[in-house]
Amino acid sequence: MNAAVTIRPFREQDDASGVRELFIAVNRLLSPPRMRDAFEAYIARSLTEEMDRVAAYYRERGGGFFVALREGKLVGMFGLERATPDAMELRRMYVDPSARRGGIARLMLGFAEAECRRLNVRRLELSTSELQPAALELYRHAGYRLLHAVVADQASNKTLGGGIRRYHFERIL
């Protein structure tokens, strides 16, 4: 039987290094061999602009960052940032590869939706890439509606660029 998972707000002193390590590890696993250099540049940019200042980044954007713990070990994470006055955007939802297929992503998604409802936010937006088929399946099964798919050419802290197809979803809460 799996131990219970606890989801709570990010705490700098307790969580910063684990969040950083999980972000790097997952993005390196996602990287197709032909795109290693592009992924390393994306990781470096995202660390500087966002992940190494995660509490401030999400606070500045009217949201928050959360971690999932099992037996005291960080096994997942995600952020919420304001997208529009009536919508939040789900960001950086990652599960530790050793803890996947155990319902942690589903728990985090449910927590994010509950947090939006608590804040009187009626819509949750999110995006994921073609490199994450399990995430695509999760969002579709959870009732998210595909808004559009785009090929991201320009890199930012939100997307690698490089011609990767991104899928944008929403759910009315």
pTM: 0.92
Q: What pLDDT, on a 0 to 100 scale, did the predictor assign at position 161?
A: 56
pLDDT tens column, 115-130: 999 999 999 999 998 8
When the candidates are 3.30.450.20, 2.40.50.220, 2.40.50.320, 3.40.630.30, the CATH number that belongs to 5-125 is: 3.40.630.30
The 10s digit of each residue's pLDDT in 31-85 is 888 889 888 999 999 999 999 999 999 999 999 999 999 999 999 999 999 999 9
What pLDDT is stored for residue 68 in this prediction? 98
On the question of pLDDT at 151 being above 90, the answer is: no
| Interval 89-100 mean pLDDT | 96
- Res 1: pLDDT: 42
Return phi, psi of residue 5, to 5°: -105, 135
Q: Cβ of 142: how many Cβ atoms within 10 Å?
A: 15
Q: Around 40, how many Cα atoms within 13 Å sit in the side-chain half-sphere?
A: 5
CA 83 from centroid of its chain's CA atoms? 14
